[in-house]
Amino acid sequence: MMEISDLHGERAALRGNPSFVWRAGQSRRLDMIVSWGLAGRERVEHILVDGCGVGMYVRALAPYAERVSGIDIEADYLRIAQSNAPDALLCLAAAEALPFADQSVDLVLSHEVLEHVVDDRAAAAEMVRVLRPGSRAVIFVPNRFYPFETHGIYWRGTYHFGNIPLVNYLPDGLRNRLAPHVRTYTAASLRRLFIGQPVRVVHHSQIFPGYDNLTQRRPALGRILRRLTYAMEHSPLCVMGLSHLLVVEKVVPQSNLEPIRKPI
């Protein structure tokens, strides 16, 4: 089973840490997932959480589907996920090879996962493959222009956990030496993953964090930061947000919708 030390150790560096508790930040993202992913439908047949961690979003999405499935590459996480979502179908699998049939899923959620996979383009293609025409994938990934690298860095061969300022503003070569374990994305580089795929972009924005830890320690400051940065999401300053929120919809065959051909 997973040790507490793993939270700040090599596994955290390679995979990131899943959400172990449900707080305001997760609730806010769930509202976005439901709003953009279901597109007005109250309930669908099948939702897939692609990289489900310990199953928090699997459990949260259960009211919105007849069946919710999850995959993860970490067996320890899946054991915890099974206790959090006992009715879900959970599989040990990689995002680059989803164990689901073509056009069998009504919503794919990829929540802070693509930055950790071996082949992010293959993982993007797999999301599209399993989606039914007209259905959507909701994708969150780290934003290259956020002022902090939230996954820590390697310095002189040692991993240092924490939020490290300004790393993502360094040139690619230097940034990737400090953080070789995790990707960050610009808007263009994220969209490039879907070039040639039969999808269209229905939404793309950047969002700021929930400040849950800070709000727990200093409620007034946390509330101020939430109001300020959530307002920034509706301004040009959104480019500094923590994460991209990209929503793509699989093109209905023989429609006049065009797949992504180049980043915008």
**263 band by pLDDT with thresholds 50, 70 and 90:** low
Mean pLDDT, residues 90-107 taken together: 98
Mind listing the pLDDT tens digit for each residue in 197-255?
999 999 999 999 999 999 999 999 999 999 999 999 999 999 999 999 999 999 986 64
Cβ burial, residue 148 (10 Å; 0-12/13-18/19+) = middle
User: Residue 2 above 50 pLDDT?
Assistant: no
Mind listing the pLDDT tens digit for each residue in 138-159?
999 999 999 999 999 999 889 9
Mean pLDDT, residues 56-71 taken together: 98
Which of 244, 263, 240 minimizes the C-alpha distance to 141?
A: 244
Mean pLDDT, residues 41-46 taken together: 96
Mean pLDDT, residues 185-200 taken together: 97
Question: What per-residue confidence (pLDDT) applies to 1?
Answer: 45
Q: What average pLDDT is seen over the chain?
A: 91
Distances (CA, A) of 175 to 157, 165, 166, 171, 180: 15, 12, 9, 6, 8
User: Residue 21 above 90 pLDDT?
Assistant: no
115 touches 230 (CB < 8 A)? no
Question: What per-residue confidence (pLDDT) applies to 20?
Answer: 76
pTM score, whole prediction: 0.89
**Domain 4-146+184-250 homologous superfamily, CATH:** Vaccinia Virus protein VP39 (3.40.50.150)
- For residues 174 and 167, give the distance between their C-alpha atoms in angstroms, rounded to a whole number: 9
Question: What per-residue confidence (pLDDT) applies to 10?
Answer: 58
Dihedral angle of Cα 212, 216, 221, 227, to the nearest 10 degrees: 40
DSSP H or E stretch at residue 225: helix 219-232
**39-43, 135-139, 150-154: which has the highest mean pLDDT?**
135-139
Indicate the pairing of strand 199-207 with strand 158-160: unpaired
Please, which residues have CB within 8 angstroms of residue 161's CB and are 6 or more apart in sequence? 8, 9, 12, 13, 152
**135 band by pLDDT with thresholds 50, 70 and 90:** very high
Mean pLDDT, residues 158-178 taken together: 93
Mean pLDDT, residues 11-20 taken together: 61
CA angle 96, 97, 98 (to 5 degrees): 110
Mean pLDDT, residues 61-74 taken together: 98
**16 band by pLDDT with thresholds 50, 70 and 90:** low
Domain boundaries, the chain: 4-146+184-250
Mind listing the pLDDT tens digit for each residue in 51-62?
999 999 999 999
Mind listing the pLDDT tens digit for each residue in 107-118?
999 999 999 999
Percent of the chain with pLDDT over 90: 84
17 touches 7 (CB < 8 A)? yes
Mean pLDDT, residues 152-175 taken together: 92
Question: What per-residue confidence (pLDDT) applies to 34?
Answer: 98
